[in-house]
Structure 1
Amino acid sequence: MLHTRTCFALVVFALLVPTANAGEYDWPQWMGPNRDGLTKETGLLKEWPEDGPELAWMVRTVGFGYAGPSIADGKIFILGSVDGETYLMALDENDQGKQLWAALIGEDFDNGWGDGPRSTPTVDGDRVYAMAATGTLICCQVSDGKELWRAKMQDMGGSIPTWGYAESPLVDGDVVICTPGGPQGSVAALDKMTGSIKWQSEGVTDGAQYSSVVKAAPSDRQQYIQLLEKRIFGLDPASGEVLWQQDDWPGRVAVIPTPLTQGNQVYISSGYGVGCRLIELGSTGTDPTTVYDNKVIKSKHDGIVLLDNNLYGYSDGGGWTCQRLRDGKREWSEKGKLGKGSIGYADGMLYCLAEKSGEVVLLDATTEGWQEHGRFTLSPQTEFRNPKGGIWCHPVIANGKLYLRDQELFFAFNVKAE
């Protein structure tokens, strides 16, 4: 297994510094501040040098896995597998990625496509929440990694999906939202201070998939929206009551991308030949109507960005694609210039990462076609990646840096313009 080849030691110690609020350009959770893949950061490079942006630092101490980073208040939080066990780690954002502490979650999840964790930690004030692929959710102090509580998805009726729990927990008000799946309720709300269960969605009991919950407020009706294999639905935040649902989504094998919302619209996509759908909710934030179903974007696990009413991402079989939100029509697609991969966004630019080659490309976020402004190939690359795996962590842009991960290798590139 990958963990038997680990050749580095954990450096664990406490950093006793008061916690401040997250910075304006921090990335405190999966898909950024608002779970939409967008950031308000400006002043970034619009053109890269021939060999790519400057490498600020690279560390080999984050362990194995496919978990992405969150960044808040000068710290980077990331999950990794070390010697067969999953840890939540904190790194110093401003000191070359120096490890500050590591909190043990437990035994690793083993899988034929690569072992270890798959989700992004969520930072909320002086606490950080993280989900291991085995279904253990922990809450730790940001300052020193002290564990405050833990909860297991299996204790809520869940069972580990084929490729492990990959959801990133949502913190909203006084609750943490997660998706154990199963007969006790697919989605659960836990008290964020204690981990005790507040409610489970008795009206939806499907097994867990790999998408993460988002919060939306169509027609001012606040709700949690989640996508499972055959079902997309909205839940009342106070009770977990099902506000609306569609149970005809033709998901298969693995349903992964997080729903995107805008006003009363909900956009979803899945790979393995499924495609995408735009749903319009009624004037009460319920009563869903399908606007279109098509296969313009079939996103497996590569992420989608919604910007100025246009969607950008990689579509299986169709290549890199721009799609109009309102009617689902394709604005452009490009198959030949970069292989399948994930996408990030900042300051009017798209950051596209090819999962097999490690090529990274900077593009204009435009409906006018593929307009490239630099590329480089990630180097070095891990020697330990499972042959069936890829560079599956999405690009993250925060505080003037581009963060990329390839298993135990974690990179920070300077992308701030001078």
Structure 2
Amino acid sequence: MLFAGAVGLQLFAALLLLSNSLSAGDWPQWRGPQRNGHAPADTPFVADGKFFEKWRAEVGTGFSSFACTNGRVFTVGNADDQDTLWCLNVTDGSVLWKHTYPAPLDPNLFEGGPTSTPTVTGERVYVISRTGDIFCLNAADGSIVWHVLLSEEQRQNRPSWGYAGSPLVDDGKVYFNVGSHGLCLNAENGETIWESDNSELPGYTSPFFVETSGARLMLLESEKALQAVDPASGDVKWKFPWITRYGINAADPIVLNDHQLIVTSGYQKGGSLLEFTADSCNEKWRTREIRSQMSPGVLIGDQLYAIDGDAGRDPRLICADPATGKIKWFSREVGCGSVIAVGTQAAVLSESGELLILPAGATEFKPLVRSQILEGKCWTPMAYSDEMFFARNADGRVVCIAKNQNDPPPEKTSNSP
């Protein structure tokens, strides 16, 4: 079985999205510049390195992650049955603007609040609520460019925990995980370009692009399948059945190269290596040892880091061989946390708010750095931009964490918008 490893990843990354120009340190959307959980790093983290808190803010209950670009940090929280999209100053956390709209907290077996992440492109920011309000706002001042409320038929077909997939913007279009296999709107005015039927409930993953065999596909999951869609027409090119208990397909697939990916879900479902082309998909192996319930894993070189297991059921951080699915090592110290890649190192946020940095090519769970940066429940994946981490807990406390250089750290600021 062919596995392209790090070389394939580098080639594939060059083909991924981002038609828009970005600064080197930007993290403008869910899971970063290439929507795969990776951020560049100017310098690696070193053993016993230190972090300091630059600022903290309160944004309201929720699990929205961050978009960071042009000196601004965007996220969403809920208070008093209203969602607020916040635009914060990256330097000190002060509020540049905010936009509030009605949205129920809906604490259905969790704290509730928004679960999708804003997407920023140019001077536009896009966001979708759990109940189907879609906004395009001016990123500079928060003024409404357009607003679309999904049709009653679409909203009746929303999944049990609402819309969670984050907007995907490309070439004048904005895509959402709505309907059986997606929704495409005109990014300039919100008009519908194409929409899917309601034959299946949408899943909770965010759409993203892959390039394979000379074709571009958009991948997203419904409650019953992983689907490859032609982003221009909305036609389904292939469909791989993937039925998970309660219809919870929530962790984005992990792309290995231009023809392989790993799809995974919790609730004892497991993970599978799929090989795909522009019009077909086949399973190569399946394992019960990679079961990501919510947060996606990341591929770093020839190692896959992911959370295996469900919240409240002793989940573990695993390091696996992506070619075989075999576990190399694991740790139960991080709970239902999350992991991103910073350069060649894995950055883990534990469920209890501890930041851990693993060495490149880690052969065991032996963090270089450990720092308690938050308290409370921390399920939301971090963002990393301009050598700063952005993290939040379920209650809505946000922290900006930076490396502590040789100089003493500045006095932190606390903002409660």
User: Is TM (by shorter chain) over 0.5?
Assistant: yes
Equivalent position of 1:276 in the other structure: 271
Could you tell me how far 1:354 is from its partner in structure 2?
1.9
Higher RCO (CA 8 Å, separation ≥ 6 residues): 2
1:93 aligns with 2:90: yes
Equivalent position of 1:414 in the other structure: 402
Equivalent position of 1:108 in the other structure: 104
Task: State the alpha-carbon separation in 2 of the partners of residues 71 and 156 from structure 1.
Answer: 34
Equivalent position of 2:385 in the other structure: 398
- Superposed, 1:13-412 pairs within 5 Å as 22-49=22-49, 52-60=50-58, 62-94=59-91, 96-112=92-108, 113-155=110-152, 157-158=154-155, 159-181=157-179, 185-202=180-197, 205-247=199-241, 249-253=242-246, 254-261=248-255, 262-282=257-277, 285-316=278-309, 319-335=316-332, 337-355=333-351, 357-379=352-374, 381=375, 390-406=377-393, 407-412=395-400
Letter in 2 for 1:288: C
Residues 387-416 of structure 1: CA distance to partner in whole angstroms, max 9, x if unpaired?
xxx311112211111111022211011137
Task: State the alpha-carbon separation in 2 of the partners of residues 30 and 365 from structure 1.
Answer: 23
Residues 132-151 of structure 1: CA distance to partner in whole angstroms, max 9, x if unpaired?
12221110001100011122
Task: State the alpha-carbon separation in 2 of the partners of residues 75 and 199 from structure 1.
Answer: 32
Task: State the alpha-carbon separation in 2 of the partners of residues 288 and 377 from structure 1.
Answer: 42
Does the 8 Å CA contact 1:42/1:346 hold for their aligned counterparts? no
Q: TM-score, normalised by structure 1?
A: 0.85
For the residue of structure 1 that corresponds to 2:203, the secondary structure is coil
Letter in 1 for 2:292: S
Could you tell me how far 1:313 is from its partner in structure 2?
1.2
Task: State the alpha-carbon separation in 1 of the partners of residues 154 and 389 from structure 2.
Answer: 38
Cα distance change of structure 1 residues 288 and 153 upon mapping to structure 2, 3 Å threshold: same
Letter in 1 for 2:379: W
Q: Unpaired segments of 5 or more residues in structure 1?
A: 1-19, 383-389
Residues 243-301 of structure 1: CA distance to partner in whole angstroms, max 9, x if unpaired?
11112x1312221111222211122110011111111013xx22211111111210011
Could you tell me how far 1:41 is from its partner in structure 2?
2.4
Task: State the alpha-carbon separation in 1 of the partners of residues 48 and 31 from structure 2.
Answer: 24
Task: State the alpha-carbon separation in 2 of the partners of residues 209 and 408 from structure 1.
Answer: 24
Equivalent position of 1:6 in the other structure: none
Does the 8 Å CA contact 1:30/1:122 hold for their aligned counterparts? yes
Cα distance change of structure 1 residues 152 and 260 upon mapping to structure 2, 3 Å threshold: farther
Q: TM-score, normalised by structure 2?
A: 0.86
Cα distance change of structure 1 residues 166 and 377 upon mapping to structure 2, 3 Å threshold: same
Does the 8 Å CA contact 1:402/1:415 hold for their aligned counterparts? no
Question: How many matched pairs?
Answer: 378
Task: State the alpha-carbon separation in 2 of the partners of residues 88 and 153 from structure 1.
Answer: 19
Task: State the alpha-carbon separation in 1 of the partners of residues 33 and 24 from structure 2.
Answer: 9
Could you tell me how far 1:314 is from its partner in structure 2?
1.3
Residues 219-250 of structure 1: CA distance to partner in whole angstroms, max 9, x if unpaired?
12101011222211101111011111112x13
Does the 8 Å CA contact 1:109/1:164 hold for their aligned counterparts? no
Does the 8 Å CA contact 1:296/1:318 hold for their aligned counterparts? no
Task: State the alpha-carbon separation in 2 of the partners of residues 334 and 211 from structure 1.
Answer: 25
Letter in 1 for 2:386: N
